[in-house]
């Protein structure tokens, strides 16, 4: 495992594998770099893959106060480690972060995002704000487990499924990383596509979604692609938000290998 020092002094842990043009992988909510270990292995014969822990997760440190720009600086640090430019891929809120980093003017060669969870309907955004409101307060009060349960419920997970998840060995690790949910809410903002910022993206962009996932994810991909000049959309057959490496990997290889 490698370690890089971000602009504010935070240690960022990452794995570097493969040979070729660099690609940085960015995870979503409640995830450390292990979520992309299979994808990193799949891409490694074609690219140099930087698979990292976002701050506050895994082997990466953190330094309050949080700001989205700090996560963008973390990505800039990894791009510097990669040699000065890199392609980005992110899933869910990590996809939104990849787009934000590209829009901020980092030396990104290409950007791909799988189901960044923007909300195109005003009513949905209002409901999202209501659902998100208790989470930061619960975390500030040290009630991470309650915050996690509230977040999972707000995503539509049934109470029975949450109860089953609580009984699994993975639950303590999810509770431990739950405080980072405030970071994901910050990345997503109000839930609206930041059209003005994303309109400034001038590199090839690919938006991806799954054909059997939630409908609003496809709407989000359409909305993001509509504001980025030349952006493409690919819907992966038989995929949900939990996309398989076998479905995603070949599409990313083709996109990142384009001249």
The residue count of the chain comes to 259
Identify the pLDDT of residue 150: 87
93, 116 contact by CB (below 8 A): yes
Residue holding tokens 């770099």? Answer: 33
Nearest to 74 by CA among 20, 137, 10: 10
188, pLDDT greater than 70: yes
Identify the pLDDT of residue 159: 87
For the chain, the C-alpha Rg in angstroms (whole number) is 17
Identify the pLDDT of residue 129: 66
Bridge pairing between strands 48-52 and 11-17: antiparallel
Q: Which one is predicted more confidently, 128 or 153? A: 153
Nearest to 39 by CA among 93, 99, 90: 90
> pLDDT tens, 160-175?
999 999 999 999 999 9
> pLDDT tens, 190-220?
889 999 999 999 999 999 999 998 889 999 9
> pLDDT tens, 227-244?
999 999 999 999 999 999
Identify the pLDDT of residue 124: 72
Tell me what percent of the residues of the chain surpass a pLDDT of 70: 97
Identify the pLDDT of residue 136: 85
Residue holding tokens 């029975």? Answer: 160
Residue holding tokens 């955004």? Answer: 125
Domain spans, the chain: 2-118+193-257, 122-184
Q: How many CA atoms lie within 13 A of 28 on its CB side?
A: 15
Distances from the Cα of 198 to the Cα of 67, 72, 85, 174, angstroms: 19, 15, 19, 31
> Can you say how many angstroms the Cα of residue 93 is from the centroid of all Cα atoms in its chain?
4
What is the value of pTM for the model shown? Answer: 0.94
Tell me if residue 93 falls in helix, strand or coil.
helix
CA 7 – CA 218 distance, rounded (Å): 35
**Homologous superfamily of 2-118+193-257 in CATH?**
Alpha/Beta hydrolase fold, catalytic domain (3.40.50.1820)
pLDDT band for 126, please (50, 70, 90 cuts): low
132, pLDDT greater than 80: no
> Can you say how many angstroms the Cα of residue 253 is from the centroid of all Cα atoms in its chain?
18
């Amino acid at each position: 495992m490698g370690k890089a020092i971000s602009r504010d002094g935070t240690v960022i842990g990452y794995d570097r594998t493969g040979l070729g043009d660099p690609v940085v992988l960015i995870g979503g909510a409640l995830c450390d770099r292990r979520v992309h270990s299979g994808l990193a292995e799949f891409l490694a014969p074609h690219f140099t893959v930087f698979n990292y822990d976002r701050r506050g997760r895994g082997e990466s440190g953190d330094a309050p106060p949080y700001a989205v720009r700090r996560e963008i600086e973390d990505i800039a640090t990894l791009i510097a480690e990669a040699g000065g430019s890199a392609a980005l891929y992110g899933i869910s809120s990590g996809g939104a972060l990849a787009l934000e980093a590209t829009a901020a003017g980092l030396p990104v060669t290409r950007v791909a995002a799988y189901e960044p969870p923007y909300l195109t309907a005003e009513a949905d955004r209002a409901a999202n704000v209501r659902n998100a409101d208790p989470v930061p307060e619960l975390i500030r009060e040290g009630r991470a487990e309650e915050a996690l349960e509230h977040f999972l419920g707000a995503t539509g997970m049934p109470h029975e499924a949450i109860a089953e998840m609580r009984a699994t060995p993975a639950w303590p690790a999810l509770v431990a990383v739950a405080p980072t949910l405030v970071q994901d809410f910050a990345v997503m903002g109000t839930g609206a596509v930041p059209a003005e910022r994303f309109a400034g993206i001038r590199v090839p962009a690919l938006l991806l979604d799954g054909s059997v996932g939630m409908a609003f994810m496809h709407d989000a991909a359409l909305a993001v692609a509509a504001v980025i000049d030349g952006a493409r959309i690919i819907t992966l057959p038989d995929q949900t938000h939990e996309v398989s490496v076998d479905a995603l990997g070949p599409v990313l290889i083709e996109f990142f290998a384009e001249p």
